[in-house]
Amino acid sequence: MNRKNNLPSFAFLFLGAATFSALGFGIGRTSGDITPLSIDVAADLIGLSFTPQEKDSMIGTLTSHRNNFELLRKTTLDNSVGPALVFNPLPQGFYPNQEQGAFDWGLPTVVLPKNDHDLAFMPVHQLSVLIKSGQLSSERLTKIYLQRIKTHSDTLACLVTLLENQALNQARALDRELTAGKYRGPLHGIPYGIKDLFAVPGTRTTWGAMPYKDQVIDETATIVTKLEQAGGVLVGKFTLGALAMGDVWFGGVTKNPWNLKQGSSGSSAGSASAVSAGLVPFAIGTETLGSIVSPSTRNGVTGLRPTFGRVSRHGAMALSWSMDKVGPISRSALDNAIVLSVLNGSDSKDPSTIPAAFNYSSKKEVKKLKIGYFSEYFEGNRAGIENDRSVLELLKNQGITLHPVALKTSINAAPLVSMLLVEGAAAFDDLTRLGLDDQLVSQHKSAWPNVFRAARFIPAVEYIQMSRQRNLLIKEMHTLMKEYDVIITPSFAGQQLQITNLTGHPALCLPNGFGSNGSPTSITLLANLFEEEKLIMLGRLIQENSDWQTKRPPLFNK
């Protein structure tokens, strides 16, 4: 079914398929004239009404709009082409620090473990010490992870492409460099994986979706280039929920290593599952509205969602140009800091990137930070609340003073999420108009096919109004966040996840125990724009005084 030629163009603003059919000019039928009746039905969908004279006056203008839509559709737009308007999360008068200092990671002394599976579950910052000291070669470590991927990825349904030969060649070259005295930094020789929405030449970039399962994009994502330059060894491309929603992809459902009857959550499903099961020490994910936080929670790993604009998205699938963010998923807050130090930086290929320093140092005193917590979210008897309260108790026992904070804004964030839906519908315009959405595995009412279709009927005026309210929300959140260095919150309480994804604020999601079903739970730390180093400082303190992040899924601890 070719919707490109048959879909009435003015439906871009208003009408649904059922309405087209009822009026006699529906999808799959020849477009008819725009009439007062069709205007009435369209207006009803957006909560407006017009007089007969107003409707008569509009017919010629609407017909002109429809003709223009047809002209627009003669130009094919690749997913990589963004809009001319670029989202900027910086409130007026606020500019991030751009003076980059030297890093001081405060890495520990590490002894090489006897067993390969113990190596596989070591965090990046410990593996880095082993490689730099010569106790461990990148080739050996890479072979361990490659074997674990071969052994467990089918069980977890987490792998799209294994890059075995490429990874081994790269690991051997990095070992030779180290022997020759060239050391690239703490990621030298460290294997990693990426979410399969990042382009790598010669590999499929499937976006997790059946219509794109054989797609090859002949370019290299900026984050892949940066990680390669830092000495990272790319071993595989991991699954994502189709077009960055959930954990269902064209090959099945990615599993949670802690509970194989449960999905990994999404959309960075494969990245989080692989890290959790010890298939890689870190992987790269993306988040638009929870796609790092949610799978990090479900899989019991540590996810960092950086400030919008800190990390380039060049070479990544676009879902929402104003909300997509790229970040690391690993075994610890410190690991994420090491990875972010490499990913950070403006990129001429991504106009949304903002130059900003990332100045983490282990010598900074965490107890000097002003720490708040959204107190109302720690009250009551909901499931998992004891795990959340245990984090507050841990910090109090470490001498941290906690300040109760209320998350109150004049703007309701829920309606603003429709901006994501409109941008997604635009990013996958052809998918809807050409009927390719029928090929997606998920077809329920909340799945992308229906969501994209419905989003086409959100008026452009309302999208702009959402953007204006979003501007107010950014200002209000900046006013709140600048009063504290870090604010602690349950990961899914209230509207904080929606709000901070809309405003572009960074978040660190940490394991904090297990629920009654045996699956992990998490706590989230928030900071002001471009202040991720404070998240790492507090996250490291929490993890150095707890063992939640060291737990291993029993079925994969071998």
| Whether 267 is catalytic | yes
Measured in degrees and rounded to the nearest 5, phi and psi for residue 524 equal -125, 140
What value does the mean pLDDT take over residues 145-168? 98
Which residues of 72-216 form beta strands (DSSP E)?
159-162, 191-195
CA-CA distance, 419 to 539, in Å (whole number)? 31
What value does the mean pLDDT take over residues 44-51? 93
CA-CA distance, 492 to 296, in Å (whole number)? 12
pLDDT tens across 260-303, in order? Answer: 999 999 999 999 999 999 999 999 999 999 999 999 999 999 99
Exposure letters 449-477 (e unless 16+ CB within 10 A, then b): bebbbebbbbbeebeeebeebbeebbbbb
pLDDT tens across 494-509, in order? Answer: 999 999 999 999 999 9
Which of 128, 138, 195, 325 is catalytic? The answer is: 195
pLDDT tens across 345-370, in order? Answer: 999 999 999 999 999 999 999 999 99
Least Cα distance to 227 among 175, 274, 191 occurs for 191
Give Cβ neighbours of residue 75 (< 8 Å, ≥ 6 apart): none
CA-CA distance, 162 to 238, in Å (whole number)? 9
Is the pTM of the predicted complex or chain greater than 0.95? no
Question: Is pLDDT above 90 for 233?
Answer: yes
User: Read out DSSP for 332-398?
Assistant: SHHHHHHHHHHHBS-BTTBTT--------BTTS-GGGS-EEEEGGGG-S--TTHHHHHHHHHHHHHT
Q: For residue 10, what pLDDT band results from cuts at 50, 70 and 90?
A: very low
Q: For position 97, what pLDDT does the model report? A: 95
In sign, the C-alpha dihedral spanning 179, 180, 185, 189 is: negative
**214 versus 27: which is more confidently predicted?**
214
Residues in a beta bridge with 71: none
CA-CA distance, 267 to 253, in Å (whole number)? 11
Least Cα distance to 178 among 235, 124, 139, 132 occurs for 132
Q: For position 55, what pLDDT does the model report? A: 93
Question: Is pLDDT above 50 for 95?
Answer: yes
Q: For residue 32, what pLDDT band results from cuts at 50, 70 and 90?
A: confident
Q: What is the mean pLDDT of the chain?
A: 93
In sign, the C-alpha dihedral spanning 464, 465, 466, 470 is: positive
CA-CA distance, 468 to 411, in Å (whole number)? 11
Contact between 284 and 328 (Cβ < 8 Å): yes
Chain position carrying tokens 């030629």: 5
pLDDT tens across 116-129, in order? Answer: 999 999 999 999 99
**CA 545, 549, 552: angle at the middle one, nearest 5?**
135
CA-CA distance, 4 to 326, in Å (whole number)? 32
User: Read out DSSP for 19-73?
Assistant: HHHHHT--TTS------HHHHHHHHHHTT----HHHHHHHHHHHHHHHHHHHHHT
| Whether 276 is catalytic | no
Which of 138, 267, 276, 332 is catalytic? The answer is: 267
| Whether 362 is catalytic | no
pLDDT tens across 178-217, in order? Answer: 999 999 999 999 999 999 999 999 999 999 999 999 999 9
What value does the mean pLDDT take over residues 56-79? 92
Which of 9, 265, 276, 291 is catalytic? The answer is: 291
pLDDT tens across 11-20, in order? Answer: 323 333 333 3
Question: Is pLDDT above 80 for 150?
Answer: yes
Contact between 342 and 135 (Cβ < 8 Å): no
Give Cβ neighbours of residue 73 (< 8 Å, ≥ 6 apart): 4, 9, 433
Question: Is pLDDT above 50 for 22?
Answer: no
**CA 180, 103, 309: angle at the middle one, nearest 5?**
110
